[in-house]
Amino acid sequence: MRSSSYSALPARALRVLAVLALAAGAVTALPGPAGAGTDRSATAGTAAARPATAGTAPAAPLAAKPYMGWSSWSMQSSKYPGLNPDGGYSWLTEANVLKQADALAARLKRYGYEYVNIDAGWWRDKAWKPGFDRHGRQQADPVRFPRGMKAVADHVHARGLKAGIYLPVGLEKEAYGDGKVPILDAEGCTTADIVYGDLRTTNGWDSAYKLDFSDPCAQKYVDSQARMFADWGYDFLKLDGVGPGSGKSGDRYDNVADVAAWNKAIAATGRPIHLELSWSLDIGRVADWRKHSQGWRIDTDVECYCNTLVSWENSVDDRWDDAPGWTRHAGPGGWNDLDSLDVGNGGMDGLTKAERQSYATLWAIAKSPLYTGDDLTRLDAYGLSLLTNREVIAVNQGAAPPARPVTPSDPQQVWASRNPDGSRTVALFNLADRPAAVTAHWALLGLTGKAAVRDLWNHENLGTHTDRITQALPAHGSRLFTVTPRGAALTTTGHEAESAANTLSGNASPADCSACSGGRKVGNLYLGGKLTFHKVVVDRPGTYQVKVAYVSGDPRAVEVSANGGGATSHRFPSTGDWGTAETVSVPVTLRAGANTITFDSGSGYAPDIDRIDVPTSS
Amino acid sequence: MDSNPPRRSLLGLAAATGALAALPACTATAAPRRPAASAVPAGDTRHTLWWRAPADGTSMIEQGLPVGNGRLGALAGNDPGRELLLITDATMWTGGLNDTLDADGQFPYGRDDFGSFTLLARLTVELSGHDLSAVSDYRRTLDLARGVVSCSYTRSGVTYRRQIFASRPDDVIVLHFSQSGGGRHTGTVVLEGTHGEGEGVSFGAAFPGGLRYGAAVTAHGSGGRVRVDGTRIAFTDCRDLTVVVSGGTNYKPDAATRYRDPSLDPAHLARTKVRAAAGHLAATLLRTHVADHLDLFEQFDLTLGASTDGQRSLDTWERIRARARDGAPDPELEAAYLQFGRYLTLAGSRGSLPLGLQGLWLDGNDPDWMGDYHTDINLQMNYWLADRAGLPQCFDALTDYCLAQLPSWADLTRRLFDDPRNRYRNSTGKNAGWTVAISTNPHGGNGWWWHPAGNAWLCATLWEHYEYRPSRAYLERIYPLLKGACEFWEARLLTTTPPGETREVLIADSDWSPEHGPLDAKGITYAQELVWALFGQYGTAAAELRRDTGYAETIAGLRERLYLPRVSPKTGRLQEWMSPDDLGETTHRHLSPLVGLFPGDRIRPDGSTPRDVLDGATALLAARGMNSFGWANAWRGACWARLKDAGKAYQLLGNNLRPSTGGTNGTAFNLFDIYEVERGRGIFQIDANLGTPTAMIEMLVQSRPGHVELLPALPGAWADRGSVRGAGVRGGFVLDLSWRHGRPVEATVRSVGGRATTVSYAGTTRGIRLAPGGSVTLRDLAP
């Protein structure tokens, strides 16, 4: 776990004056994500019911699709030569941001990129000392942004783009001003009223005092900040350090009330402002994040804080493990944010071409917001081709749900999602450090026979393939296909894990599971616990893609074997919690007639098994 | 007696090299035999290994595919967008004579003094737009029969093909890039040295030890433009492209010139060779190469039964993994693994230096143990396969090497073995003949510790080749080696009376049984067995050549008095030391005390060996265990085959076929055997790739002069049906054998110099007599 350097900043209080304001909240509901089954009845704060800002067309609902744009943090946080000559994070200036906005407008806007998001530091000088106005609200650093933040937003808008800004959650310690700073438009409210008496700190860096919303003054403080952004014309806010998450848990770091307050405050401004939460949000509170925001960072920073913007191992590659548990929570109105997509310049990014393509592939199919942190004035040809591939962007922006792994989290993986037209989006990944072949069996997609394959990255039809497609992938490489079925649906024979015909050993035992087929599963598969299915009958010998329905609140490995033969260990991706069943398929070599299939926890902890579905042909 | 050998003897050793056949290092070659223009025969799928992924540039030793013309070799990566060849020359060695001793009387063993086998060059062909992520249907093959590495893929509807081969007739490596469907090749060719020479279309340099080396590349294409662009070759829009590379050193296998040819300019010669080869069409070069390679490859064939369709549908690496996972035999894969060992022999051992620890293939300039010649098993094991598997020509490199080194080995023995600091010096005060250290280099030098029995171990291997291919001329060549080794031991043996016995015996002076236990033990089994064998071989040689009758009688007399190992009353195992106690590691990798079981013939389960010795040897082998390093498993497998335990022999094959992951012992992606040096770090050692096939053949046929045994340890997995064609058998014959249901159907014995032998199956024996060149087919062999 890493966090941005924000935590290292000096804390200093400022005296400000307070004015009281009234908040007006317009609340409306949005449809939930397709098939996600999440309760959206109380969804609030989205743009659908907000009045359009004067001079712009009526706004589309916020986050109907993952947003696209650019963010400043990757370049601010990097030690890449020349980026931050005046010390850490010094890159962030009006001149630099506007250059990026111009480049975005010129090169990427036509592909759907629209947000220009300013990250941490706009109210801090180059020594990282913050500035606040008389009401304890962050104010632009005059050196970085000599014309103030509104001028920046105006410039961005003039290019037909949207402007984004940033805040940490809570009352920054330096804004406290001995508790005497008056809150704007809130008569009688000072900073002392909006925090807890014991000045308990909050957020991922403990850089702020936790707001106490039992006092209405706290909401008014948030309202005053939201009003400020609306007045400046911002369209997007990244609220950072939010817990539970951001490396923190427990009451002090529970910022759900802050997020709700922000949602309410934004609604009250009447301006559609996209609210994005950061970082490593607690999946256990995803209903709250969905209810009050339009996106949430599922992971720590993608940046490496090194001589490049990012690096593969730290922490681009973590996303393959961390995204699956979140998949079903993404949908119109709120998306799983995998962080910046820094694939535009190989040298600056610190990635191979293959890694850059895989990075962009995962972001696209997981339907993460697509915002790059690259220097848009220095995109290389390959980077531009990655960021502007319309077929890939269409996967991200289209109507299909995000893809999930259909294989275990082994070094070679296949992810897939079903498109509205019945075709499948299929991604092959080789996460190993050396080239390897990766096969997508149509059985993984519930298909048999022939299927047409379109290579999206290379804009090429690869013809019709029978039963599977195999491609050689470079180290950390990927392919992205549209697979259009031309054959029959796969037929399978199901076997429930809890069936009395199976053998359990060790601690393994059946348990109730409302999400599971038959309402039961087999759990307690740990430290030698074992589940063996008997009488798995197939007509012909061969390797079968056996679909396993399972429940696992975290990624867990299990050893799968047939007929007492050699076992293969597979790591199953997290299902996000212990009440959700998902499926992956594992290859199992069976002989004609009756077979046994064993799931052995070995020396570790294995997922709970719900059922298996064995194809009737290999 | 003088501690120096008699002058006459030294002269004799030196004169021997005069008869040495000229060894082409990187010398000009005769005009190649070019077969008439005809289609190159299509590859047989049995002999085609294939993969679905190229190598990673940083994992070439496990994923690169080997090519070689016996001297010039390469590992090819086959990435579509970036072909990488790590090029070697067998003589590309740093170091020198290394004729000083460290304070302990042993030899220095560093990369500068003793030296190391190193890379000659690195060749990269970049193809723009051919990134692996952008191409489809990638497939990569190694055609063992034709000696061609190839890969193919499609890009935008165009199918691209690439063929890489190392031609012996043209003495170059050729890369041919072609396509069908209107494609074009654009990119660069970069040749660079690996010792700081930088890149250039040719380069030449020299090591501090004086060895000069160089390499050169050229390229031509059709339909586009190929030009030298500074230090590189740039090609643009070529329909097809041929890249030719060669190189070498001025190594000369002649002690008299200090192993150098001062008149040879390797860079110039390399330029001449690539220019000459580039004057021919790629198809002509390929045809010429395939004819040359196929001739030798086809001298032997093998089938071990049918694999399933499921197994056949898998690529080679998936098959290795599936075999280990499912535990099901894969007879075609196993036969291909044996053929891969033959391929490495053919590609790595022709006309130059012999195969060292890594054969001809490297991925860097710091191979473990210098990639050297280890004389305490590894070098010998590398040559167990050649004669058995129909590649007797490939054995010559070992004989040539030993003969070229002999004057230097004899000189170093004379000057340094009796150094008072050397713990292994003769306590008799005498010093004669020659021996070696555990490691030897090609500069006449030794490395690491003295290895007294190394001479007998080498002679045993050279002698076996004589038994496979009896030839007076060959015997005359190796005679000085045999005699010099006898002289060494005549000076070294000590007289003692073992405890509890009355008869005086001769034992070897202080020595280390490789590579464990006490450092200074007298009469170690390893030495006793090897010297006993050596003295016997010398006696036969002297009689055959009608030479040195008196000396032969002396040696025969010494042989009669040699102590032979006892069985420990404590452990029931054959003793490794003259002690009832196990003084070393019970499961140690080396089987040194079992050298009389394999490859020797002294211990046999046919009633000729005292029961207690046979049981003791069996108990020792069992105690050594079944899980060791690859070469150690190979030796174990051969020993169990000799004991007719097919199950254990086959199990050991399976152990070596386990996929190596994360550096573990086993078989790598490219079928190279991986030796786990330390946890998580594996290296390539070629000995298991050659020793394991040897053990496989020992399961099918065993032989010694006058005796051929059919199917002595046929495992159930191969029993249903199979055949072997062209297997060498000792006594001077070649055998073709087929079997069904575990019993021989037909055996044809052809004489390659032998006149009489017996052929035996399951206790039934038939005697045959043949004139050289004659053959006989036996049926109804099963009782």
Quick one: pLDDT at residue A11?
33
Which tens digit of pLDDT belongs to each residue from B758-768?
A: 999 998 999 99
pLDDT at A355 over 80: yes
Helix residue ranges per DSSP H, A127-238: 148-158, 191-194, 216-232
Which tens digit of pLDDT belongs to each residue from B320-346?
A: 999 998 889 999 999 999 999 999 999
Tokens (6 digits) for A444: 């993984």
Which chain B residues touch A455 with a CB distance below 8 Å? 136
Q: Which amino acid is present at B214? A: G
Q: A432 vs B11, which has greater pLDDT?
A: A432
Q: What gap in Å lies between CA A286 and CA A26, rounded to an integer? A: 22
Confidence of residue A104 (pLDDT cuts 50, 70, 90): very high
Quick one: pLDDT at residue B39?
61
Angstroms from A408 CA to nearest CA on chain B: 18
Q: Are B675 and B369 in contact (CB under 8 A)?
A: no
Work out the percent of chain A whose per-residue pLDDT is above 70: 90
pLDDT at B1 over 90: no
3-state class (DSSP) for residue B624: helix
Q: What gap in Å lies between CA B682 and CA B668, rounded to an integer? A: 10
Confidence of residue A102 (pLDDT cuts 50, 70, 90): very high
A353 interfaces chain B, CB cutoff of 8 Å: yes
pLDDT at B658 over 60: yes
Quick one: pLDDT at residue A618?
79
DSSP state for residue B304 in the 8-state scheme: -
Which residue in A354, A437, A462 is closest to B133 by CB distance? A354
Confidence of residue A34 (pLDDT cuts 50, 70, 90): very low
A464 interfaces chain B, CB cutoff of 8 Å: no
Which tens digit of pLDDT belongs to each residue from A38-70?
A: 333 333 333 333 333 444 444 568 999 999 999
- DSSP of A428-442: EEE-SSS-EEEEEEG
pLDDT at B466 over 50: yes
Cβ–Cβ contacts within 10 Å for residue A76, how many?
23
Which tens digit of pLDDT belongs to each residue from B95-130?
A: 999 999 999 999 999 999 999 999 999 999 999 999
B405 interfaces chain A, CB cutoff of 8 Å: no
pLDDT at B757 over 60: yes
Helices (H) and strands (E) in chain A, counts: 12, 30
**Which A-chain residues 425-444 have CB contacts (< 8 A) with chain B?**
433-437
**Contact call for B63 and A568, based on CB within 8 A:** no
How much is the average pLDDT of A275-286?
A: 97
How much is the average pLDDT of A6-33?
A: 34
Q: What is the CA radius of gyration of chain A?
A: 26
Q: Are A605 and A578 in contact (CB under 8 A)?
A: no
Residues listed for chain A: 618
Q: ipTM of the predicted structure?
A: 0.83
Confidence of residue B542 (pLDDT cuts 50, 70, 90): very high
- Domains annotated on chain A, with CATH: 16-23+66-294+322-335 (3.20.20.70), 404-485 (2.60.40.1180), 492-615 (2.60.120.260)
Which tens digit of pLDDT belongs to each residue from A361-373?
A: 999 999 999 999 9
Quick one: pLDDT at residue B782?
77
What are the φ and ψ backbone dihedral angles of A230, each rounded to 5 degrees? -65, -40
A411 interfaces chain B, CB cutoff of 8 Å: no
Average pLDDT, chain A: 91
Which chain B residues touch A542 with a CB distance below 8 Å? 310
Quick one: pLDDT at residue B32?
80
The residue of chain A nearest to residue B658, with distances taken between CA atoms, is A566
Which tens digit of pLDDT belongs to each residue from B374-428?
A: 999 999 999 999 999 999 999 999 999 999 999 999 999 999 999 999 999 999 9
Q: Which residue has 């047409």 as its token pair?
A: A452
3-state class (DSSP) for residue A287: helix
**Contact call for B308 and A455, based on CB within 8 A:** no
B260: which strand partners? B251
**Contact call for B53 and A541, based on CB within 8 A:** no
Q: Which residue has 């078989």 as its token pair?
A: B667
Q: What gap in Å lies between CA B59 and CA B40, rounded to an integer? A: 32
Which tens digit of pLDDT belongs to each residue from A545-570?
A: 999 999 999 999 999 999 998 899 99
A463 interfaces chain B, CB cutoff of 8 Å: no
Quick one: pLDDT at residue B327?
84
3-state class (DSSP) for residue A194: helix
How much is the average pLDDT of A427-435?
A: 96
Q: What is the CA radius of gyration of chain B?
A: 26
Cβ–Cβ contacts within 10 Å for residue B329, how many?
21
Which residue in B58, B131, B156 is closest to A353 by CB distance? B131
Confidence of residue A315 (pLDDT cuts 50, 70, 90): confident
Which tens digit of pLDDT belongs to each residue from B176-204?
A: 999 999 999 999 999 999 999 999 999 99
Question: Check: CATH 3.20.20.150 for B42-97+106-300?
Answer: no
A357 interfaces chain B, CB cutoff of 8 Å: yes
Cβ–Cβ contacts within 10 Å for residue A8, how many?
11
Q: What gap in Å lies between CA B644 and CA A290, rounded to an integer? A: 72
Residue B500: exposure state from Cβ atoms within 10 A (0-12, 13-18, ≥19): exposed
Which chain B residues touch A357 with a CB distance below 8 Å? 133
Confidence of residue B499 (pLDDT cuts 50, 70, 90): confident
How much is the average pLDDT of B272-301?
A: 97
Quick one: pLDDT at residue A10?
33
How much is the average pLDDT of A293-307?
A: 97
Least confident of A227-231, A527-531, B40-44, B216-220: B40-44
Q: Which residues in chain B are classed under CATH 2.70.98.50?
A: 42-97+106-300
Quick one: pLDDT at residue A115?
98
pLDDT at A1 over 60: no
CA distances for B109 relative to B301, B378, B439, angstroms: 41, 17, 9
Which tens digit of pLDDT belongs to each residue from B609-634?
A: 999 999 999 999 999 999 999 999 99
pLDDT at A288 over 50: yes
3-state class (DSSP) for residue B561: helix
